[in-house]
Structure 1
Amino acid sequence: MSCYLELAAAQKPLDIAFTLDKNNWNGKTTLQLVLKDIKSCTQPDNPYIKQDFLEHLFINGSKYIMEDNDQEIYIKEYLENKDKQSKVIDPFIQDKLVCIDVRGFNDKIGYIKNIVRTGEKSIIYVNSRNASYYLAADLRRDLPMYKEKFGYYNAGLNNEDRQSVEDLLREGKIQFIVTTSAFSLGMDIPDIKNVIFYHMCFSQEEHNHVAGWAQSNIETKIHLLYGSQDRELNQLLLAGTSPNREQLALFFLLLKKLTEKTNPINITNSQLAQWANIYKIVGIHANNIGIWLDILEELDIIKREIEGITQSIYLPTTQPKVNLECSLRYQKAITERNKFLDYVQIAL
């Protein structure tokens, strides 16, 4: 049994094979489980049978949700086409688009399940990689009849897997895709009947990008399913990816505290995020802390050397007086926050 200790210590989901047996002891008969084997749930039941693509996609989902920077893709695409778009005036009214306003609906999962049961090809927008994976996985679990019709999509997928998801959706082999804004325009996906805003977007540009998944040549329904609670969720996400002055000040004080005895310090992003959590710095996680460090490094407040997952962080003994606005990364963070505030005014 000692061979299973490492698996058990990992505290991750396991598959257990056992048989039932009677245990006669001291005049009493009880039912017992006879353990036959234990394996990680991600290990194929039969290693000689190749996983199909969807099994691979969901079993390995945790690899694809490490960082949430999917907005970079749609922003790049938007900027590349901005001039072209600004010079085009569409003279046609898209009378086949129907907007269904169910903002604040208290059972979003139930609402989506009803759409799934229609069998209509649907794209569901969510605001993070985590959400794209977990919502798709939950729907697959709750709707086993449609299990093989679900996929998810985000910028964490490698190019090959993203192309496979696109092909499956285009060919109708999957009917429902849960995706971040990384899902691109111009993919020529036919027969999209529903575009669902499960979460709020982060800007008007992103909202237009998502709405652009609807097609003008067939009747397509756009469902506004988000609510006021999603504003708070997006604000929390932005607190991590677009830190403000007060957050950065607290983060600098934490680094100063950590380097009091040893300067520089060798520390991983995960360890640093744990310290930030202890000091109650809002928004910091291991997958976004690099943004915070980049801003301070750009202003020469810290010096960094990265080797693998570990980094050496040095704080100069004499700190110059700096203007945060001199950091392009900080300017971008403030711009993202302001875009969201402007968007909220029209989205809710």
Structure 2
Amino acid sequence: MRFGGHHAAVGVTLKADKIPEFTERLCRYMDELPPEDFIPRVEVDASVDLSELTLSNVEKLDLLAPFGQENVSPHFLAHGVMMAGGRAVGVDKNHLSCTLTDGMHSLNCIMFHCSSVQALLHCGCALEAVFELQVDTWKGRRSVKAVITSLTPLSPCAALEACLEDADKDFVTGLIAAGMTERDMCDMPEWESPESDRMMWQQRAQTTPQAFRQDLIQAFLGDGVLHDSQQQTLDLLGAGHSVLTIMGTGRGKSLIFQIHAAELALGKQTTSLFVYPLRALVADQAFHLERTLGSFGITIGVLTGATSLPERAQIMTDLANGELDIILTTPEYLDFHKDELAQISSIGFVVIDEAHHVGTSKAGFRPSYTRLGNAIHCLGDPQVLAVTATADAAVAQEICDAFKLDEMVCDRAERANLHVVDQRNSKKRERYLASLVAQGEKTLIYVNSRMESVALVRQLRKQEPHIASLIGFYNAGLSRLERARVEALFREGGLQVLVATSAFGEGVDIPGVRHVVLYHLPFSEVEFNQMSGRAGRDGNEAHIHLLFGKGDVSLNTELLHGIAPDHDEMAQIYRSLRALQQTSGQAFFALDEDEVARRATRLFGNTVTPSQVQLGVAVFEELGLVETKADETQGSRVKQSVYVVDYKGKVELSDSVQYREGLDEFDSFMSFKDWVLGSSADQLQDRIRHPLLPYDNNGEGR
């Protein structure tokens, strides 16, 4: 045995009859080598982002030349990239030409003698690429190109899988498999309010109020503490003042009035009324308050246009009997029903959330806000807390005048750790999101419908097999127990990536979220602020990725149209119901929303959906045009029978709270989308980072 032409080559000369012995001894030697010696290795010099691979940067690699056996060309690693435009090339189709992308930046690549071309072309998941870089010149144009050494689909991590609880993995996988299909609610465990000894908590609130406050703080914040502006506002409320508090997104405005309302409920048996701008926000807050304050024996009720007439009657009865501590409602509902509330209930504390709408309502935007001052006067001028993140000097004065506020708290804290990444209107948002999620950092992704949350989580689990078990979803279609468990998993690390609707918003305080992704266009500025505010609540650097664009406007408009059909569509629904009533031959007839939608569409032209029929029936019942009664429950759905009243008069659809709320939410979206799509990235970042205060740091008015 001797060296060949150089030290990297070797030649062997031996007699033919020695070949078996040579083979046996060589195999014995190979068998003694450790298994890791047989795994192909690629030496990587640096991990890079595709954004770093500019022409000028790559040209600087020539400073390291010449490259050869003793000075190998550097190899770079790109993790979690996606492949686009891949194709097999060459006479034998065994070379791979492709583009690697992270959704923002792209890299043209070639991989020679690729044994897995077809598998890579069809894998559809995130990749790990090792490559050398060079500068190509074609027709006078210079560009960066990569010669790939290794291109591997990311695969499940056995060590990670072993660290996760099987029960948790099965739970999340089961949710995703079921998706938003009809589930047998009878098999689901019912939500049970936390057990509590209300009498014990009442005694503690009345005899040791400071200790009780600490109990409340611990229930909401764990080991956290109130910051100065929260404490100042609570002190003013405790002294009987009505207060305007201006505080930035994510600074804990809600915590202030939740604590004060709990102290009033158990310490003084006083009922509180929380006025929120959106019905969805009301529903989400009711869920979180029931979970947190229910353990203290505090009772919660919801009154919005979407609350059925029997439910409204029951809540009003409970209010009259002093059995409800906190009511959540909308400006429209309070405006319509202020006299009724004043007659049967003594409300001692009112919260106006997003109070800056008072300053915009005079221009016709959310007109119910203009009348809230009168509504509160009808309730007997109770104590008021108005909260917002945006109020210049003029708006602040209008708020104080409308609600007779005598104190103001301005929180000047900035959330400088939040950074906006502007990818609005990107045509590659799916690839951008895949590359972001592949990094494995704690990420919260917002979409605008329940169906989208399920569809996107399925897509991401396919694209990111290495962390598939850490990707889940959250929406209001889950049962209360399921929502609580998903939230706990995301908080504790059992999930690292969560695709959610706005249901995962205010009231959810989870530290360590490094990325918030607004994948779809939110429906309002309130949602935009709430979603963005989930990032970086631990004070460390965090990013808010704006992936929505103009193309989302039509989708949102369609969704909102389902809760606020126009006048002609409502007329179509009503006429179809009347026609069915006339042919039924009985007082009540079984309501089939699909059949009514088909009839209305066929007879009158405009497309009507079953969900619009359901909304129409609720509005007509509120206006006294129809009566309904519940039939037997079928699966998870309660069937209704309808009777169309022989009404000869004229009604206005806007006299329905539910319809008015829908119209106002539609108007809110139209105003919001112009602002959020037209503002610069710096303007949006400025809005997220700190509040708009009446005075600047020098005391000058704004």
TM-score, scaled relative to structure 1: 0.77
Contact 2:469 2:495 in 1 (8 A): yes
Counterpart of 1:285? 610
Secondary structure of the equivalent of 2:476?
Answer: coil
Residue 338 in 1 paired to residue 663 in 2?
no
Contact 2:521 2:553 in 1 (8 A): yes
Deviating more after overlay: 154-163 vs 71-80 = 71-80
The correspondence of residues 177-326 of structure 1 with structure 2, limited to 5 A, is 177-216=498-537, 217-262=539-584, 264-276=588-600, 278=602, 281-282=606-607, 284-286=609-611, 289-307=613-631, 308=633, 309-326=638-655
The one-letter amino acid of 2:180's match is S
Deviating more after overlay: 305-314 vs 192-201 = 305-314
Contact 1:239 1:283 in 2 (8 A): no
Measure, in 2, the Cα distance between the counterparts of 1:210 and 1:195: 7
Measure, in 2, the Cα distance between the counterparts of 1:296 and 1:206: 29
| Closer, same or farther: CA 312–188 of 1 in aligned 2, 3 Å | closer
Measure, in 1, the Cα distance between the counterparts of 2:516 and 2:183: 22
Contact 1:122 1:194 in 2 (8 A): yes
Secondary structure of the equivalent of 1:85?
Answer: strand
The one-letter amino acid of 1:203's match is S
| Closer, same or farther: CA 303–186 of 1 in aligned 2, 3 Å | closer
Contact 2:417 2:542 in 1 (8 A): yes
Measure, in 2, the Cα distance between the counterparts of 1:65 and 1:139: 23
Residue 85 in 1 paired to residue 379 in 2?
no
Contact 1:276 1:284 in 2 (8 A): no
Counterpart of 1:58? 176
Contact 1:238 1:337 in 2 (8 A): yes
Higher relative contact order (CA 8 A, sep 6+): 1
The one-letter amino acid of 2:558's match is L
Counterpart of 1:176? 497
* Offset, 1:71: 4.7
Contact 1:129 1:154 in 2 (8 A): yes
The one-letter amino acid of 2:517's match is I
% identity of equivalent residues: 30
The one-letter amino acid of 1:241's match is I
The one-letter amino acid of 1:224's match is L
* Offset, 1:192: 0.7
CA distances 1:129-157 after superposition (whole Å, capped 9, x unpaired) = 11111111121123222210111001111
Counterpart of 2:463? 142
* Offset, 1:199: 0.8
Measure, in 2, the Cα distance between the counterparts of 1:149 and 1:251: 45
Q: Structure 2 regions of 5+ residues with no counterpart?
A: 1-165, 185-278, 289-327, 330-350, 354-384, 389-407, 678-702
Secondary structure of the equivalent of 2:481?
Answer: helix
Counterpart of 1:44? none
* Offset, 1:276: 4.6
CA distances 1:147-173 after superposition (whole Å, capped 9, x unpaired) = 101110011111211111111111112
Measure, in 2, the Cα distance between the counterparts of 1:238 and 1:59: 28
| Closer, same or farther: CA 81–152 of 1 in aligned 2, 3 Å | farther
Counterpart of 2:480? 159
Contact 1:239 1:282 in 2 (8 A): no
Measure, in 2, the Cα distance between the counterparts of 1:84 and 1:322: 34
Contact 1:240 1:282 in 2 (8 A): no
Contact 2:285 2:506 in 1 (8 A): no
RMSD: 2.7
TM-score, scaled relative to structure 2: 0.40
Contact 2:573 2:596 in 1 (8 A): no
Residue 110 in 1 paired to residue 431 in 2?
yes
Contact 1:242 1:333 in 2 (8 A): yes
Contact 1:240 1:289 in 2 (8 A): no
Q: Structure 1 regions of 5+ residues with no counterpart?
A: 1-48
CA distances 1:1-50 after superposition (whole Å, capped 9, x unpaired) = xxxxxxxxxxxxxxxxxxxxxxxxxxxxxxxxxxxxxxxxxxxxxxxx97
| Closer, same or farther: CA 344–312 of 1 in aligned 2, 3 Å | same
* Offset, 1:282: 4.2
Deviating more after overlay: 56-65 vs 297-306 = 56-65
* Offset, 1:65: 9.6
The one-letter amino acid of 2:610's match is H
| Closer, same or farther: CA 275–59 of 1 in aligned 2, 3 Å | farther
* Offset, 1:243: 2.1
